[in-house]
Structure 1
Amino acid sequence: SPMNQRIKLVVDWLSGDYTKSQLARRFNVSRPTVDKWISRHVDGDLKSLAELSRRPHHSPNKTDDEILARIVAMKDAHDKWGPKKIIELLRIDDPCTAWPSPSTAGQWLERLGLVSKRRFKRRHGTSHREMREANEPNKTWCADYKGQFKMLDAQMCFPLTVTDHASRMILACRAHPKIMTKPVKQAFERLFQEYGMPDVIRTDNGVPFASPGLARMSTLAVWWIR
């Protein structure tokens, strides 16, 4: 909506990543219009639209608008991420700021039209046989990206782990700079060469193991089947 467009423009301005001329081109408006929207909203209207709680959600050095700008910028960069993951990473990146709870951040993003409510669909095709407990080693493997964290050099680390379901043996633990299909495929190529192929590979429904497409089959899942 036009209101959401104005809010996003102001949030982009508060992020410090854009000049007013860049914002004019980005939102296809004139420079005077940019000045008008910023002057109209930066003094309080943006805050009143987003602030849903009377509790203070900011540190002494950050305003609510600045906090909101960081949350929206993270959402714009990672459209698939929910408020829980966004707040988790912001707390890692800037632990000195009193970030709002994920539920509050979710309400803010929803007010700005940046969150669509999920439609829960009944899952089809999952049999009890596929989910039965493994009673022999090397029959079922479990793969997952564990919780990411920030290292001492300020780089993010996303640990990929692969375990044998029956023996609980850790088959692989790889540190990746981000979640990507290629290094996961390379890790499994080495595991297949060393241990052979299991009957089942259990994963969650996240990237890169699943996709929102037909049958939730990702490129990696199709490669496993082949």
Structure 2
Amino acid sequence: MEKNKLIIQSIIQGKLTPAQAAEHFGVSRRWVYELMRRHRASGEDGVLPLSRRPHSSPQQTAETVRSRILSLRPELTDKGLDAGAETSAWHLSVEGLAVPAASTIHRILRSAGLVTDQPHKRPRSSWHRFEATQPNEMWQSDFTHWTLASGADVEILNFLDDHSRYLISCTAHQRVTGPLVLECFLQAAERYGFPASTLTDNGMVFTTRLSGGKGGLNAFEKTLRDLGIQQKNGSPSHPQTQGKIERFHQTLKHWLTIQDPAKTLVKLNKDLIRFAQVYNTERPHRALNRRTPAQAYEAVPKATPTNSEAGTHHRVRTDKIDAGGKVSLRYQGKLLHLGVGRQHMYEDITVLVADTAATVILTSTGEILGEYNLDATKNYQAKKKKSPAKAEDSS
């Protein structure tokens, strides 16, 4: 700006010719004549640098879209949902509006003071994420704690499809036990089919592999083995292996915090049904290219267990052992009596039936009390005798 003024002053007051001024200040003669023209037209203001801003911005985000981006942020946040740029873009597309780039949406939110950049976070390009290639190729499972409005602590058990992040099952209980894990797993499988594998931590409700070889397999492990479902367990003290479901728990708890606090398990389970609907069908996932888990789950053929026994019919029932140490079970229209043992009388048990096989499980611990080959021609059903090899394994 000062240089432009000096060029003009050197011509007007210093009596330099335009050619001399151009040579002295190291500019072209054309530029000197342009400055002289501006000075004659507008005085000293005419030699100031002109704005380089374009007269129009054809790429500028429409005001209707910008307003919707700003209004979406509090709407999604109030619902306990993710309100980032990519999620906003998905909702704009669903509403039929023009969808700017995620970077543009982030810039609009940042300009309005609705988001703050966090440069300390690792860039997404540095992530190395494992993902199953098919739905039902692997289900991740874990449970987390939640507090009712009454102050009571409860536990929420979840099954999450690794490929699509589809929420297979989400239920709240006073306490998650081994038999309950199996029951919820079978109920989910009845609806969605059996997975090819499962991934959990090393909690006793999922596996006894760290129990020092005492007690043998629990009911969940035995059922997976019988069905040909591969059981995978994370390394001890390494929760990153189950990273997807750990991250899911954050989303779940954030959503529950926004809702009216549930006073009872019944109310909480109703809330969880609603959450599953929102999570699976109304919430696009960043890792799924803005698709919802439901869209991703239905887009690809589902994997199945390698063992044909996965087609076996399963049912689960709960009961109490009678004073004679037996439990009754209706099979092929007849009432059979399974001998468990008087030492377990009046204890709560879970009975798992798989076609002609039955397993009685102690509800409180998950211990297998007996296995039976059902025979409708006999009223009393004795336990299967363990082979010497199995007896050694369980000792």
Calculate the TM-score normalised by the size of structure 2: 0.23
**The structure with more strand, counted as a fraction of residues:** 2
